[in-house]
Structure 1
């Protein structure tokens, strides 16, 4: 379904609570701007509160009435995830939109504070733990409530390697990234099925930004110390990418469009799904495989130590 949707068509977000991970830069920052412009109170969940405060000032300078809170969240540290969720539950009694947006891409192999491969740990497991920590608040919130999980078109190349989830035996930075992004879609769909089985008034949606010009592409070459690759990424961004602002449109559509009711995959509808207005699309065949989604759900709970109080869906959900 092609659209000409832009954030100007978002319903008013006044009185609504939104959490955006990775809100200080790129797509997360642009989503924060748009939510604030529409009247939402936005919690900028960021690893660096200093950069988060800079982002907050930038949005507040543009929108004088912007309602914003900066809070520390390091998705590479489950203690930080738990602390953020506990803080949020203490400070706020509602959450209308949780945007699981932050991520890392194609970096040299490293490990999180909990000994997970960093891409799988940050992109997938950290957001699983965060969603679990905020689920009760999401379910108690009145009105249209959604969890939006950011994936990537690269998920189509991904496979879940249950024998080597942490890429210890063999590490390829792009394969690890693709696995983490496939995990994002599998998680979003399985979460939606379980929410439906629980008759919960929360919808889970997956999205991807297409090819957006952000710092995400630069971090891998920078960490690897490759000037040539960094230059190549900069040229590709300049020639092919859409802006980070437009890269945020699918997430904003997934979070606010009245026709979205859960289980969708939203991305740009233009050239090769890399740019353009947001549309509801099909993700990869693997992303719909429940025989992969269920064991991934189980192992994700085991690794993070969280427990979703949701029933296992039947074949009809």
Structure 2
């Protein structure tokens, strides 16, 4: 009688390569869509780790055709035989999100097999005040409403595969909850970049909770999780002045880190656990940190609960102008 090798315990130090090696059977023959795969980002790190474990198809989604091409070349140089397709996806525009979703739904591979894992990795952080063409504060639009809309528009493909949805949230959700009556910060007059970032990351966590509590998605075998990848120095924060990091106590006067950080590989590891670890299925809707649903990191009250999740869903439908029954 054969026995399978027990899966290891993953920790804050676990790398994405170690997670993929342990969960290789779960990755094999899966169709995986990852948003935000630009160079020096966690999305590309995630894709690279997956590429050598025989996925059926890796779909790389991003706004910039140039960045997508570079990331595709990077993956092909490491895993020449890995099937990869690129999808242009601009999360700052509802119209362009709808175009991208309509395109990927028509791909023969997706029509036949569905999407096993959707990783909503793309995002921006603490940018100056601005609004999208749809009239929404930029961080809330790009980090929440764009991914929320895209996820709903491809959900039938996820249901077909009994798949998982992962949202890249952040410890930054502690900076602020959803401003239910004023997501646009009095049209910028009351804008604070960190509070706006916190609002958008809180929304990521609440979206995973909303999906996890859907009877129809539960019946279809779909699960959803959110993750905090840890402090990783990616291009996400490249525009932020060093003085801001000093004021937050992240670095000293010489720019040396004063708080624990992770490599790109360690940062992507929690995403991969959320996407593939079979042991967390019963914790549908959980917010993971350090590769675990059981962690010491803060998960504040404004990013918890069925009531908040349902309230966010209704607000999102109103702002996007389309209802999605889950």
Q: Give the TM-score, by structure 2 length.
A: 0.84
Q: Is the 8 A contact 1:264 1:281 kept in 2?
A: no
Question: Which of 144, 153, 172 matches 2:171?
Answer: 153
Distance 1:178-1:236 versus aligned 2 partners, 3 A rule: farther
SS in 2 for 1:259: helix
**Residue in 1 aligned with 2:288?**
266
- How many Å separate the matches in 1 of 2:52 and 2:238? 28
Pick from 141, 144, 147: which aligns with 1:124?
A: 144
- Distance 1:227-1:263 versus aligned 2 partners, 3 A rule: closer
The partner residue of 2:234 within 201, 208, 214 is 214
Question: Where does residue 3 of structure 1 map in the other structure?
Answer: 10
- Which of 36, 53, 57 is the aligned partner of 2:51? 36
Q: 1:99-248, aligned counterparts within 5 Å?
A: 99-141=119-161, 143=162, 145-167=163-185, 168=187, 169-195=189-215, 199-219=219-239, 221=240, 226=241, 228-229=243-244, 235=255, 240-248=260-268
Q: Pick one of 27, 30, 37 that aligns with 1:16.
A: 30
**Matches of 1:211 and 1:55 in 2, distance apart?**
22
Report what 2:325 is aligned to. Answer: 309
Residue deviations 1:235-275 (CA, integer Å, cap 9, x gap): 3569742111211000000000011212121111xxxxxxx
Deviations 1:72-120, CA, capped at 9 Å, x for gaps: 0000011111011100110022100000111000110111121110000
Listed one character per residue, the Cα deviations across residues 142-192 of structure 1 (whole Å, up to 9, x for unaligned) are x5x100011001112322111211222410000000111011101110111
Match of 1:3, SS state, is: coil
Give the match's secondary structure for 1:61. Answer: helix
- 2-structure distance, mates of 1:58, 1:135: 29
**Is the 8 Å Cα contact of residues 270 and 288 (structure 2) preserved in structure 1?**
yes
Distance 1:85 1:237, change over 3 A: farther
Residue 195 of structure 1 contacts residue 203 of structure 1 at CA under 8 Å; is this kept in 2? Answer: no
Contact 1:132–1:307 (8 Å) recurs in 2: no
Structure 1: unaligned runs, 5 residues or longer: 269-277, 311-317
- TM-score where L is the length of structure 1: 0.86
Look up the match of 2:82.
66
- Is the Cα contact below 8 Å between 2:217 and 2:223 reproduced in 1? no
What displacement does 1:284 show? 1.9
RMSD, aligned α-carbons: 2.2
